[in-house]
Amino acid sequence: MIRIVSLPKAAVAGVCGALAWTAVLGGLQFLGLPSFDIVKELGTLAFAPDEPLRWGAVGLAAHAFVGICWALVYAYFFWSRVTWPPALQGLAFSIVPAILALFIVNPQFALMHLHRDAVPLTWETVLPSISLAQLGGLLLGHVIYGLAVGAIYTRPVGYGAEREGSVPHLPRRAANKPPRDRRQAGRGFMFATGIECSYPTIEHGRWRRDEMAATRHYARWQDDFELALDIGITHIRYGTPLHLIFKGPGSYDWGFIDEALAYLHDHGPEPIVDLCHFGVPTWLGDFQNPEIANALAEYAAAFAARFPWVRFYTPVNEMYVCARMSALDGTWNEQRRDERAFAAAAFNLAQASIAMTGAILAVRADAIFVNSESSEFCQACCPDPEIQRIARFENERRFLPLDLIYGHPISDGMRMHLRDHGIADADIAGVMAHNVPIRSIIGVDYYEWNERLIDSDGHPRALGELFGWYVIASQYYDRYQRPMMHTETNRMDASDGPRWLWRQWHNVQLLRSAGVPLVGFTWYSLTDQVDWDIGLSRAVGNVDPVGLADLNRDIRAVGLTYRRLIEMHQDQPGYRDCPALARLLAS
């Protein structure tokens, strides 16, 4: 597993661990207790014992340097391998340098301190004796060092939610791509990818996960767009960092996004702008806040007015997933685990999507909305009536946010469930009393964990790809009867990426052949992601090799395969001019 390491944080942890060791053992020596003086041992290798200022400075610097080296080893190879408290992880790790110090480094010190050109090798010189006081000091020093490093080196990705500032980025450089011919834009099937942009909070709102920061998109945004063009991408799902742009009512920081969108306007790919992706600014709290609809509508209106050329929007990404992870599974944002919180989050997210849609249409009446949602499905494991009931309920729950924004009748069972958990019939009627935009596309995401088995205990378990995207996407189309797009997929096993890409593509072709108006396909995302193997639940730094390219921006096998797929199909009838998209644009 490749992981992201915070070099500054590791260096600080190493220095602090070394200083803590020195301070504690120095204090013991000051009290007259014999111990192991690591600073003196190191310093007197270079200077005589009667020069304490010189050997003290050199010894302390050498001790700090060694501390940094061991902290880097800890960060790369040991951190978060177990789910213990951080300080205990560091303590366990300290056993390794302690053993090496006792059996290798300390004997070498003894040999170097002999100051002889040649030494006969005997057991006494190779393994010199060490007093119990020295042994205790050596082990205690490593314990202190390990505890300090473990306590300090935590959360190598993300940042404190209260410290959200301006978006750090590099300025735009001269483009190596010619300006795109905007007359040709939007006529063909959408071969898409996306920039992973999730930004939920964890640790009860204290720590912000920011995938654009973790994948270095803020620094390499132009490289990313040029890479997408090299692959042949026509459209890119692009989430603006809401939490860093929207500073408060009427207050915005557009600096980064101005430059990024200017490039996409001039060169492509055409963006499908994602305005809210699993999080909100700290000042808005979380998805239990009923005011998020009004606030996000204000943001959407300001965005559309500033970038009137943008025509594709996803107002809120994966509303069901966001509500579930935030309010039912207890992973993100409000981190609640109750049905009432889920109902409130799903309702507020749907309200926000509707309000944002209206705000955008007030600025650009021909805007197109790609309402991306996860394609969920639950299968009962057995004929037990209760297990069957749970599976039916979960298969109804998955539709709730889309039902609200598309005005689809909610079942009596779901309506009763909402009523029992704080959402009145009048509230539901009020949300659904709106005109659904004609130019709406259902975006259906699919991953192998989207299909779940309800086991004999009533708990969902990942089922893998049983029915596949074709079957589940058909259920969404049958319910809403709107144009569709495959808006996300990837594979955690990079070696299996090309096979998974072709499987998903053949699902798309099969659904198109069945008469479903499909307008696009997406491999998500352009580059590898960070910590999605644990659902962004902790700030660990695991690199998930799911991208068309790795985090060095080197194209993976799946990226080369996608390039070939696009080359094979982009000029074929039905793809060069996509009839379903043409009808949508003409509506």
pLDDT digits (tens, 9 = 90+) for 463-522: 999 999 999 999 999 999 999 999 999 999 999 999 999 999 999 999 999 999 999 999
Q: How confident is the model at residue 348 (pLDDT cuts 50, 70, 90)?
A: very high
What is the Cα–Cα distance from 423 to 433, expressed in whole angstroms? 16
Whole-model pTM: value is 0.93
Cβ neighbourhood burial of 198 (10 Å; 0-12, 13-18, 19+): buried
By mean pLDDT, which of 118-122, 277-281, 452-456 is the weakest?
Answer: 118-122
- Per the model's pLDDT, the better-predicted residue between 135 and 361 turns out to be 361
Q: How confident is the model at residue 452 (pLDDT cuts 50, 70, 90)?
A: very high
CB 74 within 8 A of CB 93: yes
Fold of the domain spanning 235-374+392-449+468-488: TIM Barrel (3.20.20)
Tell me: the pLDDT tens digits for 520-558? 999 999 999 999 999 999 999 999 999 999 999 999 999
Question: What's the pLDDT at 183?
Answer: 39
Tell me: the pLDDT tens digits for 158-203? 999 988 777 766 677 777 767 765 434 568 999 999 999 999 999 9
Q: How confident is the model at residue 115 (pLDDT cuts 50, 70, 90)?
A: low
Q: How confident is the model at residue 117 (pLDDT cuts 50, 70, 90)?
A: low
SS3 category, 403: helix
Tell me: the pLDDT tens digits for 36-51? 888 988 888 888 888 9
User: Which of 236, 272, 190 lies closest to 570, judged by CA?
Assistant: 190
User: Count of CB atoms within 10 A of residue 485's CB?
Assistant: 29
The CA-atom distances, in angstroms, between 233 and each of 132, 236, 319 are: 67, 7, 26
CB 524 within 8 A of CB 447: no
Computed over every residue of the chain, the mean pLDDT equals 93
> What is the domain partition of the chain in residue ranges?
7-152, 235-374+392-449+468-488
**Amino acid found at 479:** R
Cα 56 to the chain's mean position, in Å? 45
Strand order in the sheet with 377-380: 377-380, 451-454, 460-462
- Per the model's pLDDT, the better-predicted residue between 290 and 122 turns out to be 290
Question: What's the pLDDT at 126?
Answer: 55
Tell me: the pLDDT tens digits for 391-441? 999 999 999 999 999 999 999 999 999 999 999 999 999 999 999 999 999
pLDDT value at 111 more than 70: no
Mean pLDDT of 264-291: 97
Dihedral angle, C-alpha 63, 69, 74, 75, nearest 10 °: 130
Mean pLDDT of 558-585: 95
